[in-house]
Amino acid sequence: MTGALIDLDAAALLAAATEAQRESRLADVRGLEVLSAWAGLHSSDPTEGPDGHVARRTGNVLRQVGGDGTPGVQDFCLGEIAWARGASATSTQNALADVLDLEHRLPLTWAVCRRGECEVWVARKVARMSRHLARDRVGLVDRAVSRMIASEGAGRVLAVAEAKVIEADTELHEERREAERRRRYVGLGRTDEYGLRTLIARLEAGGAAAVDAVVHRVAEIIAPRHPEAHPDELRAIAFGWLARPAELFALLLEHTEDGAAADAEPAPMAGAAESDGEPEPDEPSARAMSRTLAFPADLLEALRSLDLRPLAPKAVLHVHLHEAALHAKDGVVRVEGLGPVTLTQLAELLRRHDLKVQPVKDLSGRVRYTAYEHPESLRDQVHLVNVGDYWPFATSTSRSVDLDHPTPYDHGDEGRDPPPDQTGSHNSGPLGRRHHRWKTHAGFRSRQCGEGRYVWLSPSGLSFLVDHTGTHPIHPEEARMIFEAPPGVDIYVA
């Protein structure tokens, strides 16, 4: 805390809080205005030369990132402004789309933002909510939101905006609603710091009822094993059994008689046609399960005697840990696709599974190949060293990326063979497809300058060093020094 603030009384601190909030809002506006100005510099069609003739620059196109009525922006310009913002290309494109919508489609709301009278994130959310509307329809949303965004809470503003988006084009809303009904999916949220993850499924009502029936029955069976679990927690534990079909099958078979004895009356099967609207969400489901599992006694006994272990799902789990984690009281490891977990959580994750431990890959040595293509062994090593995209400020840690030659591969020419040893751990880096295209065609340059260490230069001279500690801006002269070093020489500037 600064000394100036310590000396303020309550009234002055309240005034300072108000002013700080306004300054924060205006800073957000300034950041969006810079993006808009950058888009204006790159709004001409890159496929047209100054004399009107086609002068297509490979891969660069004019894209409309915002809604109807917003100007286009050259695709290749997004990477460099993302670097300058210290942000990913995706978040930069989203912010650019929002400000173009506010300027060209929601000008009344944008004017309130520019006065620092409202939260910019609320206006940006309204822009996204209304992006599918035609330009001549979105004015209804703009007028309603601009009247209240400075004087009402965010929840109320967004509720009104949602209603006005529907009112602006009810026919389009019905079309979108019908399209949504045809969308079915299962999605996973991000793993939180406690090793928990949200799973969301959208499916037909009958299928959802059938899954709910199985979860309800399993929760009934396993309840004695978890006496302290509340009902919601018990259902979550039961849902986890769906990922272990062999064990689930055995569990249900072992308790078939219990389910049949509990409910003698027949019940309609999940998903059957209802005569009076939606099915009851909390309808007890043991009866449906008992009918589903009504096996003949001899068949039931035969199934129980089977070894169901071969039916267990097979998966590859990549666990990253330091030797120190093994000696800690409860060390932390990183599991690809799940995130950081403790050793205790890892043991719970691997419990009841047959494990096959693969040898640890030695990443200390360089691997060289003569061909242009990256073999799987090299791909695996490069991923383990870099743990994702090596583009500055990239967020992806996926293995589903391209493998790039930071120093471009020399294919040779007529009468000259390609130089040897161009592909290897010394000249390989993972890049997402979009970043790979920008690096190949948009004037971005990179060079690998050590294990998991890369230097980048943008077309306008921005320079960054990407290594195991993240992305760091460096002086362009330092970047050029690293670039121009003789082959095989890696320079580390103090």
| 28 band by pLDDT with thresholds 50, 70 and 90 | very high
Which tens digit of pLDDT belongs to each residue from 35-66? 999 999 999 888 765 454 444 556 788 899 99
Amino acid type, 98: D
Per mean pLDDT, which range of 291-305, 348-362, 423-437, 463-477 is the poorest?
291-305
Quote the pLDDT of residue 367. 65
pLDDT, tens digit, 9 for 90 and up, residues 259-299: 444 443 433 433 333 434 444 444 444 444 444 445 556 66
- Quote the CA–CA distance of 466 and 456 in Å, as a whole number: 8
Residues with Cβ < 8 Å from 24, sequence gap 6 or more? none
**Mean pLDDT value across the chain:** 82
pTM of the model: 0.67
pLDDT of residue 298: 67
Rounded CA gap, 53 and 55, in Å? 6
301 pLDDT band, cuts 50/70/90, is low
* 76: nearest Cα among 381, 324, 437, 319: 437
Distance between CA atoms of residues 67 and 134, nearest Å: 8
Q: Where are the domains of the chain?
A: 17-181, 199-272+279-311, 319-350, 368-483
Query: Helix, strand, coil shares of the chain as percentages rounded to 5?
Result: 45, 10, 45
> Greater confidence, 136 or 48?
136
Mean pLDDT: which of 167-181, 296-310, 323-337 is highest? 167-181
Q: Which segment of 132-141, 284-293, 425-434, 467-476 scores lowest on mean pLDDT?
A: 284-293
Q: What is the per-residue pLDDT across 200-242, written as a single tens digit (0 to 9) for each?
A: 888 776 678 788 888 988 998 999 999 898 988 999 999 988 8
Q: Work out the pLDDT band at 316, boundaries 50, 70, 90.
A: confident
d(CA 161, CA 142): 9
**406-454: per-residue pLDDT in tens?**
888 888 777 787 777 778 888 889 999 999 999 989 989 999 998 889 9
Alpha carbons within 13 angstroms on the beta-carbon side of residue 239 total: 14
pLDDT at residue 270 in the model? 36
CA-CA distance, 494 to 485, in Å (whole number)? 16
